[in-house]
A and B are shown apart, each in its own frame.
Chain A
């Protein structure tokens, strides 16, 4: 019996954001935008969804008089991501039997 994949994470852009953030301590919005090849508008919406789910933290501050948005993954986000990967592996027949 396969577990249902987390709908919050099973979206290409949101999963890309989480995969980036899982490997770093924190990343700027512009960095995530660059690496995911997404538009600022779409990325903002998806980041907000991840934030609402409690998977990421978003910190807004000023750097050299310009607004800066820093994103980092939360403990809840790490747990959800790990569960998602485990479920993916079981779909692919690589998970625990």
Chain B
């Protein structure tokens, strides 16, 4: 590839083919989406079974989300090492999902502080009246989280033109509204369903496409 006297048509063809090659090289793996979809669905369903069958695990099942951060860091570092090219989309997605992670941890921190201040008030009310306080703060927990889950999922779906995530993001927001009016057991089912359809299913589709593209590239030896 060293010719200097090539025609304008050949130039345009070359530009087009190189832009397509750059585009073809960019496929995201769906590992992180699969993992988080599964983790959130499992946490919600285990908590649901604890409430329904009236038992308690010796640990808080949501600690699983903290444990899942370790493989997430491993996948991110591995992906970064293997990545030979960084697109503008990659840079945007990285910061979007990092921002989402920060928001989730801030949300956990904020709600923990809220509960620590709220629980003594509710306890005092119970002691004085002998009845439960009519407003239960934890009933809104799922709504807050679903609100957050929807944002990066929807934005990813729209910007990547990836419909499963777009619909998944919308489902999170619909569930967010529904969970305001439903009891906690239904909330947990909706969170499990939302994470299943917003992350797990799109993750499986993305992973399949990634593996297919990788096989095709290897076969073409490009």
Number of interface residues, chain A, beta carbon within 8 A: 30
The answer to whether A15 touches B14 (Cβ under 8 A) is yes
A35 CA / B24 CA spacing, docked (Å) = 11
Partner of A92, one of B12, B86, B222: B12
Known: A23-B22, A35-B25, A88-B12. A13 touches B2 (CB 8 A): yes
Partner of A24, one of B1, B3, B22: B22
A38: Cβ under 8 A from any B Cβ: yes
> Which bucket holds chain B's interface residue count?
20 to 34
Residues of A near any B CB (own CB < 8 A) = 5, 10-13, 15-16, 19-20, 22-28, 30-31, 34-38, 42, 63-64, 85, 88, 91-92
B127: Cβ under 8 A from any A Cβ: no
B11: Cβ under 8 A from any A Cβ: yes
A72 CA / B110 CA spacing, docked (Å) = 41
Tell me the residues in window 1-47 of chain B with beta carbons closer than 8 Å to chain A beta carbons. 1-4, 6, 8-9, 11-12, 14-15, 18-19, 21-23, 25-26
Partner of B15, one of A27, A34, A85, A92: A85
Known: A19-B14, A35-B22, A92-B9. A26 touches B86 (CB 8 A): yes
B109: Cβ under 8 A from any A Cβ: no
B124: Cβ under 8 A from any A Cβ: no
